[in-house]
Structure 1
């Protein structure tokens, strides 16, 4: 047999049947991840990864852009997220394995594309976990100050370049999350469910208090900046919905995944959207739009104004601390599962794919992720990297939507637990919205992202291409254009 061409090597696809069989084989022999999560725990992963710092701050920038019509901006952002969520739901029900959009790209668009997506996800999850940990440190300091009048010295609560020597609370948070994840997926999922209940309760507490001071006059004029203002605000609000894709990283740890994964993705989106809209409507109703601009800890300020007391700020700060803990936990979980899938395919060293026989979790990979995220959170000011998180996320979202259409064309008979309604309009719209948001990112973000992909290309050429498990298969499979079950 002749050796496959370079193009065939770069775009070799992993059959869906192989992906699914590997997951089932590992679990059946006690060598892989354990299927222990149900629909509530899985939906809580999506909610936990999504409702984080965004909703506590976004109104101070979004209301000045859109006015009271910010409620429409939330709805528009939710529609954008829903388009992608529906695409995720179809692929997750068709390919119920770990790895999220990395695995989906491997089955539909080929190895080199999947590898690039894997690096995008590493960027999304790794950098965002570190950035969120830094935000947690700030809230912890605020909570300590509000409750016992003590603040950690700046030298121990800020990174070099941000006025300190090390961000110790951020490192503590990453360590605690790693301990939970090493303990087992069931324990981590239960802890996350508890934190999700707390964060939703805190936000509903805000909604109840804010509605007690509701003034319909605050909605006039409704859209002072017109449609353009609504669109601009929707772009910034969209990133409050990032995190729903974390559900799909748990494909190998869910009972009845073809049914549970779509339910959890759609369920998490519905809960997040309802909570966000309630917060937006109640906040605008309780405070004139002109007062939002530049308002720090805006939700706490609104509660303080409504009640005339300071204790609501303490409640909001405590809720934020719990909320951000949950986000960090789920994001680190997603990172370890994506690296697990890449390691199993030979794309990265086997360290990340080794599963502890007793805990049934990738212990060494989790420790490696914790060290990486902890170093970033503790030692690096991350403000300039935030847009990179958005870039990585939007690229991954785009690939998922393309993957739905490719898989429908080349493997129409695959069993699907969920089908995107309104196909092909929904995935096409999802791609269009993602490209629109990508185009709005800064030039420096594009330059840094190009550098990141250049590093990925070097690592792929020098390691992943020759260590790929598909390289050891037959020439026919390596050069196949059909990703369906074989």
Structure 2
């Protein structure tokens, strides 16, 4: 019994991981440089947040939403340092799974492995669905009508049909009155999709076809090879950053400083309401570390690539947030496409830029999906090597030098659910998974043996024995003073999942 229990926490020694690196790395192509890794990080982090969810975050936080990006970047900065040290010492594809296996044991590694699989799968599905929304909106902007029943999930259309029928029968409404009400635009679009959908055997054919198509296309690119993926990623990142910079430079001329007052209309609580949507993007750092066996010099380049991509992304997000909240009141930014809104007739009236912004959003979502699709198969591959998944998951394509079975399975796992699922609220779940991975990686650094090779990256040493408890005590006192109601309701079941990472941090500290 004792041996069985101890086996749950057995660790994979660092010398075995280094031996595996020397052996297994031969199966994958080493193509990635520092620039490629930095581009992959930017590709993953700058996505829907800067084109879409930043509007909702600005609505709740006002101009003070910039602090959200600053706080998040600082928090993730510490995590990146830990990832960087692991990457320099354990340059293998398993990312947080492998790091946990080496420091905290097999049980936690198994848990974080499946946590990452869920995190990547749900995140990829959400990104694919978001891409579909942007793509169909882009087509409609040019007068091309995509069938609504082939651009949404079955459940949304079914619920909309039921709700409209209820409004017509019990609410005394008419289709004309609902169509004229802007609050019901989305509802009517879903209702029309239900009514216009063809049926086979009484079953209506409603699915999100663009989400399926883009997932299969990206999966095919990832399968063909890391060299082709990096070329595509680098090109798309240049386009994406160019569009974001253009938006910032144009928007500056329409900024009205009075819109920045009040700066924090809803206080700190309003700022934190957008944290899940922002934090979701930082899974990109984990994705970079999964490419360790495809780096030319992983011990040197992985830490540099991770650290280089960190400051670029929040700086661009902060500038975009300042421009948005400066061009119009934060109260007007609770829209799906805030950049299109501020450059539309309501504010700047620059219709020619709408197509450029739409292209930027599509490119941004495509690169996010690409990096996520690169990450998940390599975690499966690492788990297959260690025997926690069947050996077929570790199979490498002899022609393309990529994890063949895992890549194909990832494409299927993401593509099929994206056809039928509505995942507008799964960002919170993915953010929780990201936080859990970050907590374990940061904890794992404490269990690494002392660094002897000075050429490898190492987290700057700070004795947190007294500092961490002091910080926790200070935060607890300030929280009780300025947010007493929140502290008293901390253990209320509603929204409790958002507090799990905070509890985990306290326990680890």
Classify the TM-score, shorter chain.
Answer: 0.7 to 0.9
Per-residue deviation, 1:237: 3.1
TM-score norm. by structure 2 comes to: 0.80
Shift in CA distance, 327/424, structure 1 to aligned 2, threshold 3 Å:
farther
Per-residue deviation, 1:412: 4.3
Where does 1:9-20 land on structure 2 (aligned, <5 Å)?
Answer: 9-20=7-18
Partner in structure 2 of residue 27 of structure 1: 25
Shift in CA distance, 156/234, structure 1 to aligned 2, threshold 3 Å:
closer
Q: In structure 1, which of residues 322, 327, 341 is the aligned counterpart of residue 368 of structure 2? A: 327
The CA distance in 2 between the partners of 1:440 and 1:285, in whole Å, is: 38
CA contact (8 A) 2:276 2:428 kept: no
Where does 1:291-306 land on structure 2 (aligned, <5 Å)?
Answer: 291-292=332-333, 294-305=334-345, 306=347
TM-score norm. by structure 1 comes to: 0.83
Deviates more, 1:227-236 or 1:56-65: 227-236
Q: In structure 1, which of residues 423, 434, 443 is the aligned counterpart of residue 462 of structure 2? A: 423
Partner in structure 2 of residue 383 of structure 1: 424
Q: C-alpha root-mean-square deviation of aligned residues, in Å?
A: 2.7
Partner in structure 1 of residue 149 of structure 2: 155
Whether 1:402 and 2:443 are equivalent positions in the alignment is yes
Where does 1:135-154 land on structure 2 (aligned, <5 Å)?
Answer: 135-147=130-142, 149-154=143-148
CA contact (8 A) 1:343 1:352 kept: yes
The CA distance in 2 between the partners of 1:76 and 1:27, in whole Å, is: 37
Shift in CA distance, 234/134, structure 1 to aligned 2, threshold 3 Å:
closer
Listed as ranges, the gaps of 5+ residues in structure 2 are 158-204, 473-478, 480-489, 501-509
Partner in structure 1 of residue 187 of structure 2: none
SS at match of 1:393: helix
Partner in structure 2 of residue 479 of structure 1: none
Whether 1:239 and 2:233 are equivalent positions in the alignment is no
CA contact (8 A) 1:76 1:234 kept: no
The CA distance in 2 between the partners of 1:228 and 1:362, in whole Å, is: 44
CA contact (8 A) 2:49 2:277 kept: no
CA contact (8 A) 2:44 2:281 kept: no
Listed as ranges, the gaps of 5+ residues in structure 1 are 450-486
Shift in CA distance, 142/88, structure 1 to aligned 2, threshold 3 Å:
same
Where does 1:332-343 land on structure 2 (aligned, <5 Å)?
Answer: 332-343=373-384
Whether 1:124 and 2:119 are equivalent positions in the alignment is yes
Q: In structure 2, which of residues 223, 238, 251 is the aligned counterpart of residue 210 of structure 1? A: 251
CA contact (8 A) 1:167 1:379 kept: yes
CA contact (8 A) 1:55 1:240 kept: no
SS at match of 1:347: coil
SS at match of 1:82: helix
Per-residue deviation, 1:196: 1.0
Per-residue deviation, 1:132: 0.4
Shift in CA distance, 242/22, structure 1 to aligned 2, threshold 3 Å:
closer
Where does 1:63-462 land on structure 2 (aligned, <5 Å)?
Answer: 63-147=58-142, 149-163=143-157, 165-234=206-275, 236-292=277-333, 294-305=334-345, 306-407=347-448, 410-413=449-452, 417-425=456-464, 443=494, 446=497
SS at match of 1:58: helix
Per-residue deviation, 1:135: 0.6
Count of aligned residue pairs for this structure pair? 434
Deviates more, 1:412-421 or 1:84-93: 412-421
CA contact (8 A) 2:277 2:428 kept: no
CA contact (8 A) 2:58 2:321 kept: no
Greater Rg over alpha carbons, structure: 2
Per-residue deviation, 1:378: 1.1
SS at match of 1:44: helix
Per-residue deviation, 1:177: 0.8
The CA distance in 2 between the partners of 1:441 and 1:235, in whole Å, is: 19
